[in-house]
Chain A
Amino acid sequence: MSRRTYGVFIAGPGKSVDSGRLIYRSDRPRLQVDLTRDPAHMQIIESMIGGTALVAATDDTVYTEILLTIPHGLPYCPEAMAFFFVKSKNGNSIDPPASAYYGGIFYFSGTGAYTDAIYLVADETNVYLKHSISTPFGSPVTSDADDHILRVKLYIYSNDSHVSAYDYYEE
Chain B
Amino acid sequence: MADFGFQIAQENVDIRRAADYQKTLDSRWRTLDAVFEVEVEVVHGGSGDTMAFHHKLGFLPAFTARKISGSGEVTWWADRQKVYVRGDAGTYSVFLRIYDVDPTVEYRAPVLHISARPGSSASKIGAKFLNQHRTSQGMRDDEKSHYSLNTQAKAMGIQQTGVVEATVSNGHELVITHDLGYPPTYLTAEMDLTDTSNPKIAVMGNVLGRVTANSVQVRIVGALAVLLGSWAYLVLKDPIEVAA
Contact = CB atoms under 8 A, between A and B. Distances in A.
B6 A10 contact: yes
Given A26-B149, A28-B34, A32-B155, A158 B144 contact: yes
Contacts of A169: none
Interface in B20-47: 25, 27-35, 37, 39
Contacts of B30: 21, 23
Interface stretch (B76-84, B111-119, B125-133): B125-133
A83 B32 contact: no
Given A158-B143, A159-B145, A161-B95, A24 B25 contact: yes
Contacts of A26: 129-132, 148-149
Given A10-B6, A100-B212, A27 B243 contact: no
A6 B135 CA distance: 13
Interface in A82-126: 83, 85, 96, 98-104, 110
Contacts, number: 159
Interface string A23-65: 1111111111111100000111000000000000000000000
B50 interface: no
B187 A30 contact: no
A160 B95 CA distance: 10
A32 B130 contact: no
Interface string A144-171: 0000000001010011111100100000
A25 B6 CA distance: 13
- For chain B, the bracket of interface size reads 35 or more
Contact of A110 (B34, B223, B239): B223
B156 A42 contact: no
A161 B199 CA distance: 27
B97 interface: yes
B95 A162 contact: yes
Nearest to B101: A21
A109 B5 CA distance: 49
Interface in B168-211: 183, 185-187, 205-206, 208, 210-211
Contact of B152 (A21, A35, A101, A159): A35
A158 B211 contact: no
Contact of A153 (B3, B37, B185, B218): B185
B152 A42 contact: no
Contact of A98 (B145, B183, B187): B183
Contact of A34 (B1, B31, B144, B218): B144
Contacts of A12: 27-28
Given A42-B239, A100-B211, A101-B212, A30 B68 contact: no
17 contacts: A21-B30, A23-B6, A24-B33, A26-B149, A27-B131, A29-B34, A29-B145, A30-B148, A32-B153, A34-B152, A35-B11, A36-B142, A42-B154, A98-B183, A161-B66, A161-B95, A163-B66
Given A25-B148, A29-B33, A30-B148, 12 more contacts: A5-B132, A7-B148, A13-B1, A24-B31, A26-B131, A26-B148, A27-B133, A29-B34, A98-B212, A100-B210, A101-B212, A101-B213
Q: Which 4 A-B pairs have the closest CB atoms?
A: A162-B95, A158-B144, A103-B206, A101-B213
